[in-house]
Amino acid sequence: MTGMPIWYELMTPDPAGVAAFYRAVGGWDIPAQGNAMPNGSEYREIKRPDGGNLGGVLTQTQAMREGGARPGWIPYFHVKGVEDACAKAESMGAATHMPPTQMHVGTLAMVADAQGAPFYLMDPAPPANDPNARSDVWDREKPGHCRWNELATTDAPAAKDFYTRLLGWTSDRSMPMGERGDYLFVECEGNQIGAINPWIGENQPPMWLPYLGVDSIARAAEAAKANGGTVINGPHEVPGGEHVFIATDPAGATVGFVGPKGE
């Protein structure tokens, strides 16, 4: 699965404060109790409605916030050999925020691309009882999973070059987006996993935005607003007939949702 998204991490200062939002919008469960980490943080796994995993929640400590960490979602991309991948990323202008670190789940590192968008590189270690296990957190069709990955950036052509060289993606299709350039679709292993978006909000840092699948956009948007979130874009229809909206959760993390229009 090299190059594929294999995990999604929500960094938030208040896991309990956002749990009701994600449960109401899409049925995701964030446990009340987390696992303690050596740096004083906590980690929780996010469960999908079907019982599988979507990703995890990392509690932001005061030290993280003082270091510039903001609430947000960060994807993990599968690589073989995290050390080599980090070195290659750095040679193309990336910055390493967390050096390659070995854990029981595999080796991972956090980097930011040349425009500043953070993401993880990970060489996962499958469970001992299932050596052929594959991540299923991303699925283009199913609610409960992440269905689309969108990079908002200040330099879409440079980002395309960076990620295709680093992760082996292809990007042969595009959609004109006016004066700022084209919306660049990206594929991995024959899957259209997302796109690079040249339109970025004023004062918005470059970032990866996951679009999480829901069963009804109309219902999910109302649930978002009723549970402390703010809808900042949409709902509206996108090519292919699906509907989307973008929101901030109660702690300020930006997240997208995609699904049928619903009622």
Tell how strand 72-78 and strand 118-124 pair up: parallel
Long-range contacts of 125-132 (CB under 8 A, 24+ apart): none
Q: What is the mean pLDDT of the chain?
A: 96
Same domain? 186 vs 251: yes
Residue 88 domain-assigned? Answer: yes
- Looking at residue 65, what is its pLDDT? 87
- Looking at residue 67, what is its pLDDT? 86
CATH code, domain with 104: 3.10.180.10
Residue 70 domain-assigned? Answer: yes
Please check whether residue 26 is in contact with residue 143, taking contact to mean a CB–CB distance below 8 angstroms: yes
Looking at 124, 157, 191, which one is the last position of a domain? 124
Same domain? 169 vs 252: yes
Residue 171 domain-assigned? Answer: yes
Please check whether residue 213 is in contact with residue 143, taking contact to mean a CB–CB distance below 8 angstroms: yes
Residue 50 domain-assigned? Answer: yes
Same domain? 151 vs 89: no
Helix and strand element counts for the chain (H, E): 5, 16
Same domain? 152 vs 95: no
Mean pLDDT on 94-111: 96
Residue 1 pLDDT > 80: no
Same domain? 98 vs 203: no
Q: How far apart are CA 249 and CA 24, in angstroms?
A: 12
Same domain? 112 vs 151: no
Same domain? 90 vs 167: no
The predicted-structure confidence for 211-258, as pLDDT tens digits, reads as follows 999 999 999 999 999 999 999 999 999 999 999 999 999 999 999 999
The predicted-structure confidence for 20-65, as pLDDT tens digits, reads as follows 999 999 999 999 999 999 888 999 999 999 999 999 999 999 898 8
Residue 188 pLDDT > 90: yes
Same domain? 11 vs 116: yes
Residue 76 domain-assigned? Answer: yes
Query: Cis peptide leading into 176, omega within 30 of 0?
Result: no
Residue 94 pLDDT > 90: yes
Mean pLDDT on 86-96: 98
Same domain? 219 vs 187: yes
- Looking at residue 32, what is its pLDDT? 95
Residue 162 domain-assigned? Answer: yes
Which amino acid is present at 73? Answer: W
Alpha-carbon torsion (37, 138, 68, 33), positive or negative: negative
Looking at 92, 124, 156, which one is the last position of a domain? 124
Q: Position of tokens 């292919």?
A: 240
Domain extent for 168: 146-259
Residue 136 domain-assigned? Answer: no
> For the chain, how many structural domains are there in total?
2
Q: Which residues contact 18 (CB under 8 A, 6 or more apart)?
A: 10, 12, 30, 228, 249, 250, 251, 253
> In this prediction, what percent of the chain has a pLDDT beyond 70?
100
- Looking at residue 39, what is its pLDDT? 85
Q: Which residues contact 243 (CB under 8 A, 6 or more apart)?
A: 217, 218, 234, 235, 236, 237, 258, 259, 260, 261, 262
The predicted-structure confidence for 54-63, as pLDDT tens digits, reads as follows 999 999 998 9
The predicted-structure confidence for 119-172, as pLDDT tens digits, reads as follows 999 999 988 889 888 999 999 999 999 999 999 999 999 999 999 999 999 999
Same domain? 159 vs 219: yes
Residue 137 domain-assigned? Answer: no
- Burial of 83: CB neighbours in 10 Å, binned 0-12, 13-18, 19+: middle
Same domain? 61 vs 165: no
Same domain? 254 vs 171: yes
- Looking at residue 158, what is its pLDDT? 98
